Amino acid sequence: MAGSFLTAQGLSSEQLFEIFDRIKILKHDMKQGKTLDVLQNKVIGILFEKPSTRTRTSFESAILRLGGSTIYLPVADLQIKRGEPIEDTSRMFGSYLDALVARVFEHQTVIDLSQYSGIPIINGLSDLAHPTQAVCDIFTVLEVKGQVKGLKLAYIGDGNNVCHSLLMVCALAGMHMTVACPEGYCPDPAILHKAESIAAQTGAQLSVVESPDEASVGAHVLYTDVWVSMGEEEEEKTKLEIFKGYQINVDLLKVAAEDAHVMHCLPAHRGLEITDEVIEGPRSIVWQQAENKMYGAAGILDHFL
Ligand code: CP
Ligand code: NVA
């Protein structure tokens, strides 16, 4: 199905599981070193307004491994920086490229890119959503646990982009999710509402609480993200204070299910949102999670292109 992937809410449960199946097959084939031509003759732009280690590298690597080509487009090198409207830039991208992976500050930018370019736009993170991350992450849960339906994920931290997409993907997958966040940093009510309406169809239970302990009771997965997101550097001092208790550590793991695993979208700040002991410990599946971003990127591109 050709189209943009701006948030996970456009997906159906069936499509999500089709993508998971595709990721599994492509992971197998890519690991075998098979020559793949899924993206043969496709030229895909990689437009980033913010730094990235994993999303950029995993997408570029996946595109090259699937027979496509990439053009890296840092915004500082584009005329957008000198005031060219996003509409005009998007029209050019529509003429030159087959698709674009974009990491932006404002979610409206990926909407505009999609509307004016007419080519598939893959959201590589906006202030509102990080859908490719959540798809890859819940694929990792499926891979590790053998199932996702009925399992519980506890998200500890800021209720922003990564949390929003996890809510949506968990809802689609029938996986329960409890968010623990400090007052003022809870998920966007409109996104929570949308995720809840999906959850009502799939049997997932979603909730938001303040206490990390309460959220983690019986959880099969503990998940966290940075306390200070890109673009929030000025709020750093305040946020470090507010989020102090929102750390995944061995004490929090004791509250979770016996076989609970720990995930982090990365980059991690050891000693803040997660301890060194936990991220490097036996319950951590963080490195498998990060590795799967490349296979996830492949499956997502295959689906949307
Ligand atoms: N998790 C993630 O999106 O990492 P990067 O910021 O390095 O791309
Ligand atoms: N919430 C983080 C995610 C980083 C992958 C941010 O927006 O910076």
CATH of residue 47's domain is 3.40.50.1370
Establish whether residue 161 lines the binding site of ligand 2, counting it when its CB lies within 6 angstroms of any ligand atom: yes
**Relative to the CA of 55, which ligand 1 atom is closest?**
8
The tens place of each residue's pLDDT in the chain, 305 residues long, gives 469 999 999 899 999 999 999 999 999 999 999 989 999 999 999 999 999 999 999 999 999 999 999 999 999 999 999 999 999 999 999 999 999 999 999 999 999 999 999 999 999 999 999 999 999 999 999 999 999 999 999 999 999 999 999 999 999 999 999 999 999 999 999 999 999 999 999 999 999 999 999 999 999 999 999 999 999 999 999 999 999 999 999 999 999 999 999 999 999 999 999 999 999 999 999 999 999 999 999 999 999 99
Residue 35 alpha carbon to ligand 1 centre in Å: 27
- What gap in Å lies between CA 186 and CA 179, rounded to an integer? 8
Domain co-membership, 276 together with 176: yes
Amino acid 1: pLDDT: 46
Amino acid 125: pLDDT: 98
- What gap in Å lies between CA 217 and CA 135, rounded to an integer? 24
271 inside domain = yes
Amino acid 57: pLDDT: 98
**Relative to the CA of 133, which ligand 2 atom is closest?**
5
Domain co-membership, 227 together with 160: yes
Establish whether residue 133 lines the binding site of ligand 1, counting it when its CB lies within 6 angstroms of any ligand atom: yes
Domain co-membership, 119 together with 151: no
DSSP element (H, E) containing 279: helix 276-279
Establish whether residue 185 lines the binding site of ligand 2, counting it when its CB lies within 6 angstroms of any ligand atom: no
Mutate to test the pocket of ligand 2, among 229, 232, 243, 246 (most ligand atoms within 8 A of CB): 229
Domain co-membership, 15 together with 88: yes
Domain co-membership, 106 together with 50: yes
* pTM metric for this prediction: 0.97
Both structure tokens of 188: 């966007």
Domain co-membership, 109 together with 147: no
**Relative to the CA of 127, which ligand 2 atom is closest?**
7
pLDDT tens per residue across span 75-121: 999 999 999 999 999 999 999 999 999 999 999 999 999 999 999 99
283 inside domain = yes
Mutate to test the pocket of ligand 1, among 55, 60, 126, 224 (most ligand atoms within 8 A of CB): 55
Number of domains, the chain: 2
Establish whether residue 160 lines the binding site of ligand 2, counting it when its CB lies within 6 angstroms of any ligand atom: yes
Domain co-membership, 283 together with 300: no
Mutate to test the pocket of ligand 1, among 46, 49, 52, 294 (most ligand atoms within 8 A of CB): 52
Residue nearest to atom 7 of ligand 2 (CA): 229
Amino acid 300: pLDDT: 98
Establish whether residue 232 lines the binding site of ligand 2, counting it when its CB lies within 6 angstroms of any ligand atom: no
Instruction: Burial-class residue 213 by CB neighbours within 10 Å (0-12, 13-18, 19+).
Output: middle
Domain co-membership, 224 together with 76: no
For residue 63, what are the domain limits?
8-129+293-304
Domain co-membership, 297 together with 149: no
Each residue of 6-25: b (16+ CB within 10 Å) or e? bbbbebebeebbebbebbee
2 inside domain = no
Residue 267 alpha carbon to ligand 1 centre in Å: 7
Domain co-membership, 185 together with 92: no
Domain co-membership, 145 together with 269: yes
- Sorted by sequence, the CB contacts under 8 Å of residue 175 that are 6+ apart come out as 138, 141, 148, 149, 150, 151, 152, 153, 204
78 inside domain = yes
Amino acid 80: pLDDT: 94
1 inside domain = no
3 inside domain = no
Domain co-membership, 168 together with 243: yes
Amino acid 126: pLDDT: 98
Amino acid 164: pLDDT: 98
